[in-house]
Amino acid sequence: MIDSKIPDFSLPATGGQTFSLAAQTGKAVVIYFYPKDSTPGCTTEGQQFRDLYAEFAAVNTVILGISRDSVKSHENFKTKQNFSFELGSDADEAVCNLFAVMKMKNMYGKQVRGVERSTFVIDRSGVLRREWRGVKVPGHAQEVLDFVKAL
């Protein structure tokens, strides 16, 4: 998938919006997939992107967080954490499947299907330039920012 054009997709997002990849042409796009709103790792990850948001915006970069949670759940999470970026709801997993982030995971000794924490950077012409899979949260948002600045 690296160095290939990402097909357009759209999904319902916070702020009463529909996020469309095609509408972002001319901007770099950071898409981060996370398992669940308001859980410890997902909250910390979102806060790190929030804290660096102005630096991403300064290099003409859009951030979108995606999980399978509902838009209503996303709105609560976004408001509570004061995120400056939108969260997309992928309840039917169409975008999760496009990026192949659905994995079998162990949770309390049981196999469950869930979102593998992953981040993707798409350049200004819609081409995937970098992916991180199985993301460990500490320092991750800064690493993504450093990559985007080098695009």
Predicted local distance difference test score (pLDDT) of residue 41: 95
pLDDT digits (tens, 9 = 90+) for 12-43: 999 999 999 999 999 999 999 999 999 999 99
Mean pLDDT for the stretch of residues 104-128: 93
Cα(32)–Cα(141) distance, integer angstroms: 10
pLDDT digits (tens, 9 = 90+) for 121-135: 999 999 999 999 999
Predicted local distance difference test score (pLDDT) of residue 107: 78
Tell me which of 42, 141, 144, 145 is the catalytic residue: 42
- Contact between 49 and 65 under an 8 Å Cβ cutoff? The reply is yes
- What is the helix, strand, coil percentage profile of the chain, to 5? 30, 35, 35
41-63 per-residue burial string, b: 16 or more CB within 10 A, e: under 16:
ebbebbebbbebbeebeeeebbb
pLDDT for residue 108 is more than 90:
no
Mean pLDDT, the chain, integer: 96
Joined together, the tokens standing for residue 99 give 């990026």
pLDDT for residue 106 is more than 90:
no
Cα(124)–Cα(127) distance, integer angstroms: 7
pLDDT for residue 49 is more than 90:
yes
**Residue 96 is a catalytic residue:** no
Q: Name the CATH superfamily, with its identifier, for domain 10-150.
A: Glutaredoxin (3.40.30.10)
User: For residue 127, what is the DSSP state?
Assistant: B
